[in-house]
């Protein structure tokens, strides 16, 4: 598709499942228990996704667009 891509990773890793795009920004927290590759959090907190702030994705979009993205 050759479109810019923001790839959000939680329990997985871009090293094992890389995004297939030329223009890509990876957003992930890299907390101590990730990547675990589990669908269900063994600790029950799901922090790898729950603590990911929307602003991190917005910043990634801005970097891809080279212009600030404003959210209403």
Q: What is the pLDDT of residues 30-54, one digit of tens each?
A: 999 999 999 999 999 999 999 999 9
Q: Kindly state whether residue 59 falls inside one of the protein's structural domains.
A: yes
Q: 34 is written with which tokens?
A: 């990730």
| Nearest residue to 8 (alpha-carbon basis) of 28, 22, 29 | 28
Q: Kindly state whether residue 72 falls inside one of the protein's structural domains.
A: no
Domain that holds residue 53: 5-65
Per the listing, tokens 């030329």 go with 22
Q: Kindly state whether residue 60 falls inside one of the protein's structural domains.
A: yes
Global pTM? 0.82
Number of domains in the chain: 1
pLDDT class for 56, splitting at 50, 70, 90?
very high
Q: Kindly state whether residue 71 falls inside one of the protein's structural domains.
A: no
Q: Kindly state whether residue 70 falls inside one of the protein's structural domains.
A: no
Quick check: 14 pLDDT over 70? yes
**pLDDT reported for residue 67:** 61
Are 13 and 35 a contacting pair, CB within 8 Å? yes
Q: CA–CA separation, 12 vs 22, rounded Å?
A: 20
Half-sphere CA count of 1, side-chain side, radius 13 A = 8
Q: Kindly state whether residue 26 falls inside one of the protein's structural domains.
A: yes
Q: CA–CA separation, 45 vs 55, rounded Å?
A: 21
């Amino acid at each position: 598709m050759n479109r810019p891509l923001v790839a959000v990773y939680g329990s997985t890793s871009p090293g094992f499942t890389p995004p297939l795009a030329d223009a890509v920004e990876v957003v992930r927290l890299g907390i101590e228990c990730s990547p675990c590759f589990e669908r269900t959090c063994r600790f029950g907190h799901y922090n790898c996704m729950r603590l990911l702030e929307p602003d991190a994705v917005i910043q990634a979009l801005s970097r891809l667009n080279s212009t600030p993205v404003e959210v209403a």
